[in-house]
Amino acid sequence: MLPDRLDGWGAPIQDEGQPGSAAQRRLEPGAQSRVERLFERTGPVLSWLAGILMVMTIGAQIYIVLNR
């Protein structure tokens, strides 16, 4: 049998799909979750980093081809 509470946390154990799980946490209409707010701020940064990596990769390929 499972314990009623997690040791050290004092939080009740909740199985997926059972009452008390994430299914209970409904957002209000128009509200954003923490993850959505996080990616809203980091999206442009990740896009720039991906672009820089692409330019560096293409540059490295050109360098390798020209210096054979």
In the chain, domain spans: 30-66
* 26-55 pLDDT tens trace: 656 667 777 777 777 788 888 899 999 999
* Predicted confidence (pLDDT) at residue 2 exceeds the cutoff of 70: no
Can you give the pTM of this predicted structure? 0.43
For 28, the 3-state DSSP assignment is coil
Cβ(22)–Cβ(34) below 8 Å? no
Q: Which amino acid is at 5?
A: R
Cβ(3)–Cβ(13) below 8 Å? yes
* Predicted confidence (pLDDT) at residue 23 exceeds the cutoff of 70: no
* Predicted confidence (pLDDT) at residue 15 exceeds the cutoff of 80: no
Output the six-digit token pair for 61. 């390929």
34 or 67: which leads in pLDDT:
67
> Rounded to an integer, what distance in angstroms lies between the CA atom of residue 47 and that of residue 51?
6
> Rounded to an integer, what distance in angstroms lies between the CA atom of residue 48 and that of residue 54?
10
